[in-house]
Amino acid sequence: MTRDTATFISGCRDGSGNLVEIGDQGPTLEAARFGGEILRLLGDRPAGADLRLLADCRRGPAFAMTRESERPSLGATYYGNRLRQLAGQDADQPPTIARWVAEQVFADGKVAVDGDDLFYAIRSLVIIDARLPARQQEAVRSFLADCLAADGGYGLMPGDPPDIERTYCGIAIRQWLGTPDDLASVHRHRGFAESCFDGHGHMRMRPGKPDWSLATGYWGSRCAELLRLEWPWHQVLAATQACRQADGGYASSGRSTLWETYCALRVSAIASRLAGGPA
C-alpha cells in the first residue's frame, strides 16, 4: 500500500522534529526549505522545529546552511528567506539583506560568483521585493551573455557547456530583469530546451545524454512553462507520477528524497494545469 506524501515528510523528521534529507547526517536549511515547499503544496506550513532551525541559522542579515556553520552563504540565505515566506513571515530589514546579497555577488563592477549563486541571489531579491541598480543589472546581463552557448542554453560559468538547470536559471533571471530585450532574449533557448526532451516524458541535463532525473524534469518543465512552449504535458505528468514510491515520496531511482519529491510535486502541478493545451 502506498503511503501519502504527508507521511513521507513526517518520516524525514528527527527526534527533535527537524527535517533531515535522506542520506544526510543532520538538519539543514535546504531540507527545511524543500520540506516547507512540499507542505505548502499539501496545504500546510513549516512546523515549529523548522522555524527554530531558521532562527539558529541566522547570521546577521543572512543565513548559514546549518546551526554549526559559521559563515552565511547565498544558497542558505535564499532558502532562509523562502522558508520565512512559506511560514507567512516578512523579512527583517530588506534593504540590509539586499546590500549583503549585492556585496557577495559583485566585485569591481562585475559578477564574481557562478550561475548557481547568482540565481540564489536574485531569488532572495525577488522574495524581499528588491531591485538591483542599473549598473549591476547590466553586469548580470554581461555575465549571462558570457555563459550563453552559440546554439542556446546557459552554462554554469563562461565557457562551460550549457545544461537545462542553468538554462532555467538564466531564463528566470532575464525575465526578472524584465526589459523588452530581456524578455525577447529568452526565446533563443527554445531549441535547447526542446532538444533536452527524451521523447518519453523526461528531461535530460544536456542533449544527447541519456540520464534524467526528477530534478532535470523540474528544470525542463519550468523552461517549457516560462517559454510557453507547446509541450506533451500529459506525458510529462504520467512519467513523473510513475516515480511515486511506496513511502509516499518520489525518486527517479533509489530512495525517495525531499528534493526529488518537491521536484515531482511541482512538475505534477505545472503539468496538470497546462495539460489542457499549449503552455
Distance CA 78, CA 84 (A): 10
Q: What would the mean pLDDT of 47-73 be, rounded to a whole number?
A: 96
The percent of residues above 70 in pLDDT, for the chain, comes to 98
- The verdict on residue 117 lying in a domain is no
* Predicted confidence (pLDDT) at residue 277 exceeds the cutoff of 80: no
Q: pLDDT value at position 1?
A: 44
Lowest-pLDDT choice from 2-11, 72-81, 121-130, 223-232? 2-11
Q: How confident is the model at residue 279 (pLDDT cuts 50, 70, 90)?
A: very low
Residue 36 lies in a domain: no
For residues 232 and 200, give the distance between their C-alpha atoms in angstroms, rounded to a whole number.
Answer: 9
Residue 237 falls within a domain, yes or no?
Answer: yes
- pLDDT at residue 169 above 90? yes
pLDDT of residue 2: 56
pLDDT tens for residues 181-192? Answer: 999 999 999 999
DSSP state for residue 253 in the 8-state scheme: S
Asked whether residue 95 is assigned to any structural domain, the reply reads: no
Q: Tell me, yes or no, whether 113 lies in a domain.
A: no
- pLDDT value at position 103? 98
Question: What is the percent of the chain with per-residue pLDDT over 90, rounded to a whole number?
Answer: 93
Q: Is residue 269 part of a domain?
A: yes
Note whether residue 225 is domain-resident.
yes
Residue 13's DSSP bridge partners are 19
- For the cut 70, the answer to whether the pLDDT of residue 278 exceeds it is no
How would DSSP label each residue in 146-194? HHB-TTS-B-SSTTSPPBHHHHHHHHHHHHHH--HHHHHHGGGGHHHHH
Domains identified in the chain, total number: 1
Q: Which residues contact 277 (CB under 8 A, 6 or more apart)?
A: none
Residue 230 placed within a domain: yes
pLDDT tens string 15-50: 999 999 999 999 999 999 999 999 999 999 998 999
Is residue 274 within 8 A of residue 234, CB to CB? The reply is no
Q: What is the mean pLDDT of residues 247-260?
A: 94
Burial bucket for residue 196 (CB in 10 Å: 0-12, 13-18, 19+): buried
Residue range(s) defining the domain that contains residue 200: 196-279
pLDDT value of position 134: 97
